Amino acid sequence: MHESSMKGKRHAVRGSLFHCLCDPGPGGDSRASEYFEDGLLLIENGRIVEYGPALPALARLPENTPVTDYSGKLLLPGFIDAHIHYPQTDIIASYGAQLLEWLNKYTFPTEARFGDPEHAEEVAEFFLEELLRNGTTTAMVMPTIHPVSVDAIFSAAQKRNMRLISGKVLMDRNAPDNLCDTPREAYEQSRLLIEKWHKRDRLLYAITPRFAPTSTEAQLREAGKLAAEYPDTYVHSHVAENHEEIAWVEALFPWSRSYLDVYHKFGLLRERSLFAHGIHLDKTDRKLLEKSGATLAFCPTSNTFLGSGLFDLEDTRQHNVRVGLATDVGGGTSFNMLQTLSDAYKIQQLAGRNLAPTQGIYLATLGSAQALYLEDKLGNFLPGKEADFIVLDDQATPLISRRTSTTTSIEEKLFVFMKLGDDRAVYATHIMGEEAHLR
Ligand code: GUN
Ligand code: ZN
């Protein structure tokens, strides 16, 4: 049966199932996840009704229930990219600079083009297709300062029925004139966009001061005002990524205790506030994150590519700070969350720590959902959740096929996907139960 004719009806999907119920931690606690070698998902109106072993569920299914058969392949909850920039699609893999030089040399010139709605729309379409090809079903996305760049990404996501978070970038200093707004424009344009997009279908709005150096205190105050007036929206920014950047923040905000403290002083730390990077934070900062409910995005390919530093996942976990996994394209070098986990593992190795394969999958799914306060809707296969899921193929490449032929546990197989997998391993991507990509 064709997918579109399944809408609104019960349908089932058969294949191996793996998901996490909580954080397995670096040791990979087996009680934190579930695996069914021959499993079944039952879906109705885009939501999961039931999951578990296939045979007893199939025996109970009404005779004419359609079943999509992915037997032999692995179903996971869709990947959730906690921080990515769609306007940077065309500058991924730009050579030879660290953060501040990279922003001036590559990022700002490319972002200046997003006042053109046709350009914004073309890139947004490509970007979302690229996410789906890579098994990413939800993302928190930074656009540019231009309201049309926000309309473009939300419209493209709405067309695909994707759950996506975005919001106009706020910048009123230390950027080229054509990328600067004012505190008043920041407030007014954000307010109009919140009214237009927040909670429309599956879309959610984020108040988005880019990072402290590109906003005046007057603009951060407006952002804080919006965050208080619209408490169920998100706040999205960057923090403590690069030493030169941190020294700059100290010079710009001499009264602040730390970089994170700048956001705190303007009322930007709260539940649903997410900050990318957070590499160079101290214990006081981590306690402030814990107390406020603000969260971090771990961006391994970006942190290494831009030479920013090694994120301390374990200390952040120990402080009960929610952490999502993110590509941070175009500072990041891959749209693919498996590739992102490959670099996350190496960063843990450099710190003398482990990243269990199950913990890796947790970070890319339920962990990111928790960092975005979406764990009631996304992140695993519990009944009632939205049926965004992906299908991984262990025959995707000759090497993956050869290596997985000798694995004896799901943990081992997940680790092979984590180290050798990329977009080729993503056989299919489903949004609200419906096929959105098939390799
Ligand atoms: N800090 C401020 N803007 C950016 C950006 O676009 N990318 C990264 N990686 N860090 C930032
Ligand atoms: Zn970023």
pLDDT digits (tens, 9 = 90+) for 339-360: 999 999 999 999 999 999 999 9
User: Which pLDDT score, from 0 to 100, does residue 439 have?
Assistant: 94
Peptide bond into 330 cis (omega under 30): yes
User: Which pLDDT score, from 0 to 100, does residue 9 have?
Assistant: 82
Which alpha helices (H) appear in 107-168, and where do they start and end?
108-111, 117-133, 147-159
User: Which pLDDT score, from 0 to 100, does residue 8 have?
Assistant: 56
Q: What is the mean pLDDT of the chain?
A: 97
Whole-number Å distance between alpha carbons of 71 and 39: 9
Widest CA span in the chain: 70
Show the low-confidence residues of the chain (pLDDT under 50). 1-7
Per-chain residues with Cβ under 5 A from ion ligand 2: 276, 328
Q: Verify whether ligand 1 is closer than 6 Å to residue 211 (CB atom).
A: yes
User: Which pLDDT score, from 0 to 100, does residue 108 have?
Assistant: 98
Q: Verify whether ligand 1 is closer than 6 Å to residue 236 (CB atom).
A: no
Single out the residue of 259, 253, 262, 219 nearest to residue 241, CA to CA: 259
User: Which pLDDT score, from 0 to 100, does residue 2 have?
Assistant: 38
Region 2-78+380-438: CATH code: 2.30.40.10
pLDDT digits (tens, 9 = 90+) for 43-56: 999 999 999 999 99
Domain spans, the chain: 2-78+380-438, 79-371
79-371: CATH topology:
TIM Barrel (3.20.20)
Looking from the CA of residue 211, the nearest atom of ligand 1 is 2
- What count of other Cβ atoms lies within 10 Å of the Cβ of residue 264? 21
Q: Verify whether ligand 1 is closer than 6 Å to residue 238 (CB atom).
A: yes
Of 103, 105, 252, 263, best ligand 1 pocket probe by most atoms within 8 Å of the beta carbon:
103
The answer to whether 295 and 323 are in contact (CB under 8 A) is: yes
